[in-house]
Structure 1
Amino acid sequence: MKRRSFLKSAAALLPAAGLDPMAFASAPGLDALNAGEIVGAGKDRLGEAHSRGYSSILFKVLPRETSNGLFVIEHMNLVNGGPPLHKHPNQEEYFYVISGEVRLAVGDRRLTLRAGESILGPRGIPHTFAAVEGKPGHMLIAFSPAGKMEEFLRATAIPNPPAEDAAFWRRFDVELVGPSPFKA
């Protein structure tokens, strides 16, 4: 019997055994056979499109794949712009520049990272980023633990640009600190 057929048959038996099938279910949109699959270059984990207006965002590792331990996104074609200054009280945010240059503010530091460079934004420390003007950037960002970042990015995606309202951001455990120091 093929594995997929076996798993479907086994799932059908769970209610008969008095077991809750949801206790064994994987996340929506993914099944146990998808775990460990390659997410191709320029591809989103679920084949979706995400944007906050200053880049195209690809979801690479979903929180539901890691018991909410990790969420990894890829920013492609990052242009001048970025989120306002903010902080995460419950998670670290790791930035890795793949190509181009990206300006970062982490606490009081103002840095420009180039391809191959990275920095950690520790929990509780205000931070933001923006591409260097005229040079599209490309970077990975990882959140650990994942928290509510997937929901936040979905709620603030274009055509619903991010609300710069502190109460809105707090719903996703993100604290809005102020405007980006990189915006003119």
Structure 2
Amino acid sequence: MKDIILGPDAFEWQGTYYKTILPTAETDGAMSITDSVSPALSGPPRHIHHDADETFVVLSGEATFWVEGETFVRGPGQTAFVPRGAEHCFRIEGPQPCRHLVILTPGGFEGFFAAMSEKDCRIPEDMPAIAETGKRFHLDFTGPPLSAADLGGQS
């Protein structure tokens, strides 16, 4: 399945497929871009990137973003910007997966996704190990993923 979606260099973690399309090494550390396909109703726990701004470019599907207590929805052709230090998370809405680019400036965070895939860590069962790895990437987890209840009961 991953080969069809993102090609043979893609890898999977918790049902989400990732492929780094612009590694940090190719930008002298300035940025990285990861192509990602997340399944419906999925999303990470609330977290903070202490050293990087994060921009999402939604290519297909729809996601609800939660940034510092504000929620907003983005669909194909739309973007979401999360400044470094801002607590945030997102949730894929609707019945279909969401394909989006994750752009981090400066780069370096793409290694977190690869490490989690290699370790086959599971949320919430392996959160201590996930949080420990996150710290190496200047990431702290601060709360649970978004739920339908957080969004007023919508899907």
TM-score, normalized by length of structure 1?
0.69
| Identical counterparts, % of pairs | 24
Q: Deviations over 1:113-158 (max 9, x none)?
A: 11111111000001112210412111111000013x1221111116
Cα shift at 1:167: 3.2
More strand by share: 2
Specify whether residues 59 and 168 from structure 1 end up closer, same or farther in structure 2 by C-alpha distance, changes over 3 A only. Answer: closer
Unaligned runs of 5+ in 2: 150-155
Aligned residue pairs, count: 141
Local SS of the residue matching 1:156:
helix
The list of structure 1 runs, each at least 4 consecutive aligned residues, that deviate by more than 6 angstroms after superposition, is none
**Gapped runs of 5+ residues in structure 1?**
1-40
**8 Å contact kept, 2:34–2:110:** no
Q: What is the correspondence of 1:68-147 to structure 2 with a 5 Å cutoff?
A: 68-147=29-108
**TM-score with structure 2 setting the length:** 0.80
**Does structure 2 retain, via aligned residues, the 8 Å contact 1:78–1:130?**
no
The structure with the larger Rg is 1
Tell me which of 4, 7, 10 is aligned to 1:49: 10
Compare relative contact order (CA 8 Å, sep 6+) and give the higher one, 1 or 2.
2
CA RMSD of aligned residues (A): 2.1
